[in-house]
Structure 1
Amino acid sequence: MTSRTKSQWRTAILASRREMDADTRAAEADALAAAAREIGVTLGADATVCAYVPVGREPGSVAMLDALAGVVGRVLLPVAREPGPLEWAPYRGADALVTAPYGLKEPAPPFLPPDVVAEAALLLVPALAVDRRGVRLGRGAGFYDRTLALASGPRLVAVVRDTEFVDELPEDPHDVRMREVLTPRGGLRTLE
């Protein structure tokens, strides 16, 4: 069992992300965009994918969203309001993103209800870390935990850096396990 608490994991990962240089982040973002495009191609032109706009030093980039949007029917992005599960809105390009609460970038209204996640073939979920069992470590606000409870059908894919794919994380009863992980070097992998 892991000896670190979730708070200790968050502190360590956020510190590591702050130390990463811009060239490495850019190379990882390019790799994730290419992988996302490949995944989208396998899903098909009619598929809906729920993704996210990376903020700060989160893995990925808007190029990942553009790559998906070029090969699937619809890319939905989260809209975070309090409290409860995330709402969603269609991605209409980087220029259509607006500044939102919590330091996020989101599509402008109109918004779709939280249960639209059930229509998605795939959810790309931001994470600070994920373990080999699929336990995901988020930032602790619970938006995704409440949302993922509505997403029984879609493939759940945590997006992390290769070093953030770890052996074991602490798990709470409300945590929804990921089924797959996407990393820049390792690509898409199925979890235990």
Structure 2
Amino acid sequence: MSDAIADAKRAMRAELRERRQVMSQTARDAAADGVRNQLDALVERLRARSISCFLSTNTEPGTREFVAAAVDRGIRVLLPITRADGLLDWSVATPDGDIAEGLFGLPEPVGDVLGPIAVNDVDLLIIPAAAIDRRGMRLGWGRGYFDKTIGSMERCPPVYGVVFDSEVVDEVPSDIHDQPVTGVVTPTQTVILAPVRR
């Protein structure tokens, strides 16, 4: 990655992080409700029976209510667990599953751990993002876990990034290792941006 791209990514992440931190709790709660409705509709439209989804932090668009409701409806939900080698392990979400602080201080499940290839069986990947552009390029938070996961899948299902409405932008800085997403979910809309990879 060139220094210019790396610098542009750092600057954009810093701005987005700051914007998220000053958001009111009322706005966060409304966003979580909207995201849940959008994700519920997406899962239904795709007839997904097995999905992966991240557990949101306090500053991300809320996904936890969606995950709990999906589990209650009998959908198999894999939750990511970060590893020191840059790969993701997975754990199946349960109604009473415990959450602990993971490798980078992120919320992660406590329970039986499945290896990285467990995600190959899902019908839909729901992943975090800092921003997503109209070409389907995603700006993550800089650790590369989801780019590695998406890039290593033999048959990648639809991949949707979750962001706030203002984080769907004209362009994000990207390089050859960055993986596009199929679409974006915000509190008010779900948009298909790029073709599904096979």
Structure 1 residue runs without a partner (length 5+)? none
Matching residue's letter, 1:188: T
Q: Displacement of 1:72 after TM fit?
A: 4.9
Counterpart among 140, 143, 148 of residue 141 in structure 1: 143
Q: Displacement of 1:143 after TM fit?
A: 1.2
1:26 aligns with 29
Q: Displacement of 1:95 after TM fit?
A: 4.6
- Structure 2 contact 128–163 (Cα < 8 Å) conserved: yes
Counterpart among 4, 8, 11 of residue 8 in structure 1: 11
Query: What are the superposed Cα offsets for residues 117-144 of structure 1, whole Å, 9 maximum, x if unpaired?
Result: 2211110110000001111111101111
User: Which aligned runs of 4 or more in structure 1 are off by greater than 6 angstroms?
Assistant: none
Distance in 2 (alpha carbons) for counterparts of 1:191 and 1:88: 27
Query: How many pairs does the alignment contain?
Result: 188
TM-score by length of 1: 0.91
Residue 120 in 1 paired to residue 122 in 2?
A: yes
Identity among equivalent pairs (%) = 32
Query: What are the superposed Cα offsets for residues 71-97 of structure 1, whole Å, 9 maximum, x if unpaired?
Result: 353000000011132111001136522
Alignment RMSD, CA only?
1.8
TM-score by length of 2: 0.88
Alignment of 1:35-54 (within 5 A): 35-44=38-47, 47-54=49-56
Distance in 1 (alpha carbons) for counterparts of 2:187 and 2:82: 26
SS in 2 for 1:5: helix
Matching residue's letter, 1:111: V
Residue 162 in 1 paired to residue 157 in 2?
A: no
Q: Displacement of 1:69 after TM fit?
A: 2.0
Q: Which piece of structure 1 moves more, 107-116 or 17-26?
A: 107-116
